Amino acid sequence: MASTRSFILFLFIQFFFSFLAFSFAQSPATGSTEGYTIYGRVKIPSVGTKEYILPGKISNIKVILNGGQRVTFLRPDGYFSFHNVPAGTHLIEVAAIGYFFSPVRVDVSARHHGKIQAALTENRRGLSEFVLEPLKDEQYYEIREPFSIMSVVKSPMGLMVGFMLIVVFLMPKLMENMDPEEMRRAQEEMRSQGVPSLASLLPGAARSN
């Protein structure tokens, strides 16, 4: 508490001094100009056929400075600004449902009167002008594959049914075409082996063709 009070006092003192200077210089600047302004723009391709964000509707997009220290919104033309930002290296994030934005590293230079350099942190790409575009669209739902015979056939159940059908309908046909002698031999083999295995049946069928 004491520290805040002394801070306010400090501000007072600072202000009185600055006020003197200001009235003397008649400069249009306000009493406190320790911060700089970050201007930027968020651009979203309007071709997106999203249901949750209508093209051009950007009212629900937030721009966040330094992990929640300040939050601002977009103007209709996509511009945003943060005022009174001290010089240093900052982080800007864009929160928009349906789009993936990379956070942006922003260097505000004190030496060059608030000159701003920006770079995407995800791919370390520098930005020549401060225009943020989504890296990719975000699809929150799995897409249901449209109905096709192939998808049913490919599904485990379909495969099983298919296999059954082959066994039920194709096998007797193959058996029919078999030589009765060979058949008898096979049956004997079966009897001697017990349960017929898939592997022992298939080559026989192949041979008969």
For residues 153-182, which are near other proteins according to CB under 8 A?
156-157, 159-161, 163-164, 168, 172
Judged by CB, which is closer to other proteins: 15, or 182?
A: 15
**Rounded least distance, CB 79 to other proteins, Å:** 9
CA 205 from centre of chain: 53
**Rounded least distance, CB 156 to other proteins, Å:** 5
Query: Cα(49)–Cα(139) distance, rounded to whole angstroms?
Result: 12
CA 57 from centre of chain: 20
Evaluate whether 22 touches 31 at the Cβ level (below 8 Å).
Answer: yes
Say which amino acid occupies 187. Q
Within 41-100, which residues bind other proteins (CB under 8 A)? 52, 57-59, 62, 64, 66-76, 80-81, 83-86, 88-91, 93, 95-98, 100
11 binds other proteins (CB under 8 A): yes
Evaluate whether 65 touches 85 at the Cβ level (below 8 Å).
Answer: yes
Query: Cα(26)–Cα(24) distance, rounded to whole angstroms?
Result: 6
17 binds other proteins (CB under 8 A): no
Judged by CB, which is closer to other proteins: 119, or 186?
A: 119
Query: Cα(115)–Cα(40) distance, rounded to whole angstroms?
Result: 13
21 binds other proteins (CB under 8 A): no
Site size toward other proteins, by CB under 8 A? 72
Residues in the chain: 209
**Rounded least distance, CB 131 to other proteins, Å:** 18
Judged by CB, which is closer to other proteins: 15, or 179?
A: 15
Evaluate whether 108 touches 36 at the Cβ level (below 8 Å).
Answer: yes
Judged by CB, which is closer to other proteins: 70, or 186?
A: 70
121 binds other proteins (CB under 8 A): yes
Part in contact with other proteins (CB under 8 A); list of ranges 7-15, 41-49, 125-133, 180-188: 7-15
Q: What angle do CA 144, 147, 149 make, to 5 degrees?
A: 135
Q: Which residue has the tokens 């078999």?
A: 178
Part in contact with other proteins (CB under 8 A); list of ranges 8-16, 38-46, 109-117, 182-190: 8-16
